[in-house]
Structure 1
Amino acid sequence: DAIALMNYTGANGVMSAEGLLSDPALFGRRVRAGVASMTSVDEAMAQRTRYSEPDPSTAEPVGALWPASGTEGCDLLREYLELTREYATPMRMVRAHAHRMLGEWLKEFHDVRDKLVRCHGTPEEYRNQLLEVSDELRACIVRTERDFPVEKLTDRALRRLEEAKELEERKAEAIRQQAAEESMLASL
């Protein structure tokens, strides 16, 4: 899409911020279905020649980008953490990026998410804890034999739903009792 839009608009580049926070490999991932990957800007620019039509909706697509596996976020986090050793990065940013890279799977594996939230310490200690969390999440993902997460309610959310259900039942019972009392009083 980005290449088609560059051709259509005549722009020299595309900027992506939000999408790259959760998927830093957005423009460098191998694609499924045997379509060639674009692993560098030069390669991506060479692909521009495939888009000769002025309307991007009629341009020949390079292929849809999809994660190669469910564990890709764990791989990206590991690579990112190595880069934070080389390039000074505030730990608050590292924390945010870790949450974004592992994001959707943390909605299924709440215990791993809780461990991620509890990570702390010096930058090196923090990185090591994040690596442990990432490895644990990878093992959980592999056990599912799926490439996609299945969001689950937390124990707290389940308790709140149960409490709300009990409250509704007590309310309904109180209304029934009140109606019975009113009926008795009306018959006097």
Structure 2
Amino acid sequence: MAKIAALITDKFEDSEYTSPKEALEAAGHTIVTIDKEGNKIVTGKKGEAKVKIDYGVDEVQPQDFDALFIPGGFSPDLLRDDDRIVAFTKHFMDEMKPVFAICHGPQLLITAKSLEGRDTTGYKSIKVDLEYAGATYHDEEVFVCQKQLVTSRTPKDLPAFNREIVKLLEEKSL
């Protein structure tokens, strides 16, 4: 089963972390939470979810993970000012490992300059940012690009997002 790195910090969209996490764990995969610094608790923007951070980014190597998960909310924007987080993110795109980003999650992929020529979706407020990054934006509940990148728009798209991330990992037999 896959070992999945989840890049997350305070003000993440609660359900955009908890719902995919539950779907991935139900399928037998392991989620490891990573922030700028480890050994702390982060809180979702609605205050409904609290997540223990397993590791700081300096304590892990992207090579040790099979896939990357980026929940939305304000978390991706808060993380993308850190070059270590951006480099960690870029590794997965460069190596064609599975990447799952919902809502504002693709902001980290924009900063990693990893979306040129890719097809994606995301929250409508980042549509222009995605296009400036060289991606083709699709206003769909979920979009799978090159059997690697799975993106969705909002919490209402979580059923489709969860279905496709689990399906992609099954296809890759991770």
Q: TM-score range by the shorter chain?
A: under 0.3
Normalising by structure 1, we get a TM-score of 0.24
Q: Give the structure with the larger helix fraction.
A: 1
Instruction: Choose 1 or 2 for highest CA Rg.
Output: 1
Q: Give the structure with the larger strand fraction.
A: 2
Normalising by structure 2, we get a TM-score of 0.25
